[in-house]
Amino acid sequence: MPPAARFGKTEPMEWTQQTQQAREWFETLRDRICAEFEAIEREAGSDASFDYTAWDRETEDGSDGGGGVRGVMKGKVFEKVGVNVSTVSGEFSPKFAGQVNGASEEHPEFTATGISLVAHMANPHVPAVHMNTRFLTTQAAWFGGGADLNPPIEYAEDTDAFHARLRAACSAHNPTYYDRFKKWADDYFFIPHRGVARGVGGIFYDHLECADLPAFERNFAFTKDVGEAFLDAFPAIVRKRMGMEWSEEEKAAQKEWRGRYVEFNLVYDRGTLFGLKTGGNIDAILMSLPPEVTWG
């Protein structure tokens, strides 16, 4: 069992219990995902497993700012996969506070708990993937997250299966969610300077606000279903493609495609910016970067 992430005590008291509930779910989801990924490695004849590193968030005044656990595995199927869970709290810098929902220079306090996952695969026929879900509180409280598929070599049936599972998760909660959140993902995971999408999309949502406890329960239930959808859909795709043969040309194309992924994450990704601006663990923030990449 991975070590539990510690978290600070400065979050608004009205959301302390809900932050803990969300944290426990993210840690449970992490454990289930990592167990499934390790099972896939065993099926491929590999004994690779996750290495876990706990970290503490440093604060300027020395107060407890929380922390997290970074899990990384490098195996036969998963060339590099990172699964992070963190729960942090503190104050935004005055300049950054105005960019965050519900925060301001007068009220820079925040808490954030979430899970973030990125998998880069050894076989270029197996898609890379990203998933994260989170709960944040400032003067507001909300959920955000999503999942998106990033294949170097696209198979339409894999794209359709991934989207179908996310569509089912969305439709169980709101008939408008899938179309709204798919478009949001299409718009968000786009690389303007390249004029191309990062992958084949998925869903992306943010600011599902919790004005009261019933709203928290509704949005929490949806966020949990997004995690379940990912755990159901992605391992099935991996198992379907991981035994396929590939050529050196296909591997080279995968490494060049990864360059686009790096460019997006370092230039445009809001999660990367949030982590850097809030004193997060650098290794955990940048675990999304692939182990090998080329630019043509």
Active-site annotation, residues: 130
Distance CA 104, CA 94 (A): 7
Q: Radius of gyration over alpha carbons of the chain, in Å?
A: 19
SS3 content of the chain, % helix, strand, coil (to 5): 45, 25, 30
Distance CA 93, CA 67 (A): 18
SS3 196: strand
Question: 10-34 burial, b if ≥16 CB within 10 A, otherwise e?
Answer: bbbeebeebbebbbebbbebbbebb
What are the residues whose beta carbons fall under 8 Å from the beta carbon of 133, sequence distance 6 or more? 26, 114, 115, 143, 144, 145, 146, 223, 226, 227
CA 169 to chain centre: 17
> What's at 206, amino acid-wise?
D
In contact, 263 and 199? CB cutoff 8 Å: no
In contact, 155 and 162? CB cutoff 8 Å: no
From 265, 289, 288, 282, select the one nearest 57 (Cα to Cα): 282
SS3 120: strand
- Which residues, listed in sequence order, are joined to residue 205 by a DSSP beta bridge? 145
